[in-house]
């Protein structure tokens, strides 16, 4: 059975009322509008415009509030420079795809395991059985859809591909623009609790900070972004696509933040478009980052030498996944695109191995969020594209020539359970490091693990340049 996703371009009133009622069962006082377009306890006003235009609404979602104010929204001009045609996007997975997934989960065959609950060989069978049991019997994809659809989402042609993105305007007038880029094995879902803390900090536990207008695109082939049709889509290409997206939305100057693949995309943006990127904030440095070494550059410091040894040791013991992705991604993709349980094990093992917290997976993460993320990979059926990004980036690493420097300043958040954090001087070989923070808790998935901590870091960092 072929898996597919279904999405709709919505004007003010969806034409399919059955679809509308299933997707948005709880609404405000106007039943004609989806939840994120309807009245809420926070506001009694809204503006409705034709398709592709701005809609001003107030939305409340406990425990965080998301407030959408008038201004730039995809397809509607705040200034004369907005020129990108966008389509409003709502997630609606076909019922047949859900039935197919349920059938596959029920037919799962589990591997034998020598270590029971120990993660030494990867994801333990006992833990995977618990995850699959919850996925099969308790996980509610429609509820996950509704949560995702609370965020205003759009698609637009960028660099020849249809790109999915979340776009939320800040509550403050003339809020500076900020683009967030995720990585693998994550998605825009990692950012759902981070976004309100950036677009409306005062109402989400961070008073005293100015809001950002936030754009969160899905990497090509991830979630609801179209997969590349030919080789060559690496972080450098994505950086050009993201710059085109921001320019098309009317943001001629913006901040950039990222981790994992998002860090390399953000660095490429600063490298290629220094006149547009006001500053960078990173919580990870890509292994593809290669600063200039040798004369006339200074020798390695003891901290740099120790870090390079630790990185090589980590790659030897934990980097097998990366080597497969970088060499034979298609072979692995055949297995993962056909088995939701295999896909879940490949993804969730990394969330556990690279994160901070309790030893029990279900205590460390909200399992519904993890399964929402895995489900996006499953329903998109673009697993090969997500893995191939590693091979594309290996072919064009972030190598810098002697004397080359990045112009936009860098702020870096070092989380203790991140994958082998580099020393500051390793980054200072290329960057002007304006801020360096050592955080007390958190790992590779900072937006998901520590959304308040990361939001505060972003506010304090970019506040230096506003």
Q: How far is CA 431 from the centre of its chain?
A: 24
What is the distance between the alpha carbons of residues 227 and 282, in angstroms, rounded to a whole number?
Answer: 26
What is the distance between the alpha carbons of residues 282 and 298, in angstroms, rounded to a whole number?
Answer: 24
Do 378 and 340 meet the contact criterion of CB atoms below 8 Å apart? yes
Confidence at residue 198, expressed as pLDDT on a 0 to 100 scale: 98
What is the distance between the alpha carbons of residues 255 and 79, in angstroms, rounded to a whole number?
Answer: 19
Question: Hey, is 375 helix, strand or coil?
Answer: helix
Q: Given a cut of 80, is residue 70 above it in pLDDT?
A: no
Q: Locate tokens 């990867």: which residue?
A: 122
Q: Given a cut of 80, is residue 244 above it in pLDDT?
A: yes
Lowest mean pLDDT among 96-100, 236-240, 354-358, 367-371: 354-358
Higher confidence at residue 263 or residue 358?
263
Confidence at residue 163, expressed as pLDDT on a 0 to 100 scale: 98
- DSSP 3-state percent helix, strand, coil across the chain (nearest 5): 40, 15, 45
Other beta carbons within 10 Å of 115: 12
The mean of the pLDDT values for the chain is: 86
What is the pTM for the complete model shown? 0.85
Q: How far is CA 185 from the centre of its chain?
A: 9
What is the distance between the alpha carbons of residues 442 and 318, in angstroms, rounded to a whole number?
Answer: 19
Hey, what domains does the chain have and what are their CATH numbers?
Answer: 5-94+141-311+395-465 (3.40.50.1820)
Q: Given a cut of 70, is residue 14 above it in pLDDT?
A: no
Q: Given a cut of 60, is residue 11 above it in pLDDT?
A: no
Confidence category of residue 37, pLDDT binned at 50, 70, 90: very low
Confidence at residue 427, expressed as pLDDT on a 0 to 100 scale: 97
Note the pLDDT tens digit of each residue in 370-417.
999 999 999 999 999 999 999 999 999 999 999 999 999 999 999 999
Confidence at residue 81, expressed as pLDDT on a 0 to 100 scale: 58
Catalytic residues: 260, 390, 444
Q: Given a cut of 50, is residue 431 above it in pLDDT?
A: yes
Of the candidates 263, 454, 449, which has an alpha carbon nearest to the alpha carbon of residue 369? Answer: 449
Q: How large is the average pLDDT for residues 416-433?
A: 96
Note the pLDDT tens digit of each residue in 118-133.
999 999 999 999 999 9
Confidence category of residue 146, pLDDT binned at 50, 70, 90: very high
Q: How large is the average pLDDT for residues 72-79?
A: 35
Higher confidence at residue 377 or residue 5?
377
Confidence at residue 4, expressed as pLDDT on a 0 to 100 scale: 46
Q: Given a cut of 70, is residue 19 above it in pLDDT?
A: no
Question: Hey, is 451 helix, strand or coil?
Answer: helix
Lowest mean pLDDT among 153-167, 265-279, 348-362: 348-362
Q: How large is the average pLDDT for residues 266-288?
A: 97
Q: Which residues pair with 58 in a beta bridge?
A: 67
Q: Given a cut of 50, is residue 430 above it in pLDDT?
A: yes
Question: Hey, is 196 helix, strand or coil?
Answer: helix
Other beta carbons within 10 Å of 103: 10
């Amino acid at each position: 059975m072929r898996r597919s996703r279904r999405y709709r371009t919505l004007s003010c009133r969806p034409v399919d009322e059955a679809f509308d009622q299933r997707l948005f069962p709880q609404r405000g006082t106007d039943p004609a509008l989806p939840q994120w377009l309807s009245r809420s306890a926070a506001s009694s006003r809204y503006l409705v415009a034709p398709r592709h235009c701005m809609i001003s609404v107030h939305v409340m979602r406990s425990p965080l509030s998301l407030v959408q104010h008038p201004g730039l929204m995809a397809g509607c001009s705040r200034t004369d420079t907005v020129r990108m045609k966008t389509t409003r996007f709502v997630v609606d997975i076909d019922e047949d795809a859900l039935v197919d997934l349920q059938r596959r989960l029920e037919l799962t065959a589990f591997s034998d395991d020598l270590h029971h609950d120990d993660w030494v060989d990867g994801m333990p069978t006992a833990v995977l059985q618990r995850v699959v049991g919850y996925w099969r019997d308790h996980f509610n994809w429609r509820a996950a859809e509704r949560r995702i659809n609370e965020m205003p989402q759009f698609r637009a042609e960028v660099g020849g591909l249809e790109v999915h993105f979340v776009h939320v305007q800040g509550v403050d007038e003339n809020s500076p623009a900020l683009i967030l880029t995720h990585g693998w094995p994550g998605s825009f879902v990692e950012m759902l609790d981070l976004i309100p803390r950036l677009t409306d900090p005062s109402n989400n536990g961070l008073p005293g900070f100015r809001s950002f207008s936030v754009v969160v695109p899905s990497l090509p082939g991830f979630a609801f972004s179209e997969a590349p049709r030919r080789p060559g889509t690496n972080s450098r290409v994505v950086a050009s696509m993201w710059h085109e997206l921001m320019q098309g939305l009317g943001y001629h100057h913006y901040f950039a933040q990222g981790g994992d693949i998002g860090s390399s995309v953000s660095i490429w943006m600063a490298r290629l478009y220094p006149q547009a990127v006001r500053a960078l904030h990173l919580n990870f440095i890509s292994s593809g980052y290669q600063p200039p070494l040798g004369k006339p550059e200074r020798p390695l410091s003891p901290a740099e030498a120790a870090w390079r040894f630790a990185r090589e040791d980590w790659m030897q013991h934990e980097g097998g996944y990366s080597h497969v992705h970088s060499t034979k991604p298609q072979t692995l993709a055949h297995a993962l695109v056909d088995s939701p349980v295999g896909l879940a094990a490949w993804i969730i093992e990394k969330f556990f191995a690279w994160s901070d917290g309790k030893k029990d997976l279900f205590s460390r993460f909200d399992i519904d969020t993890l399964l929402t993320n895995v489900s996006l990979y499953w329903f998109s059926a673009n697993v090969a594209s997500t893995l191939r990004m590693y091979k594309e980036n290996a072919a064009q690493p972030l190598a810098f020539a002697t004397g080359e420097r990045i112009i936009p300043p860098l702020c870096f958040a070092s989380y203790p359970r991140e994958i082998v954090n580099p020393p500051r001087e390793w980054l200072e070989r290329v960057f002007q490091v304006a801020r360096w923070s050592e955080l007390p808790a958190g790992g590779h998935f900072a937006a998901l693990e520590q959304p308040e901590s990361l939001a505060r870091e972003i506010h304090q960092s970019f506040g230096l340049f506003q």
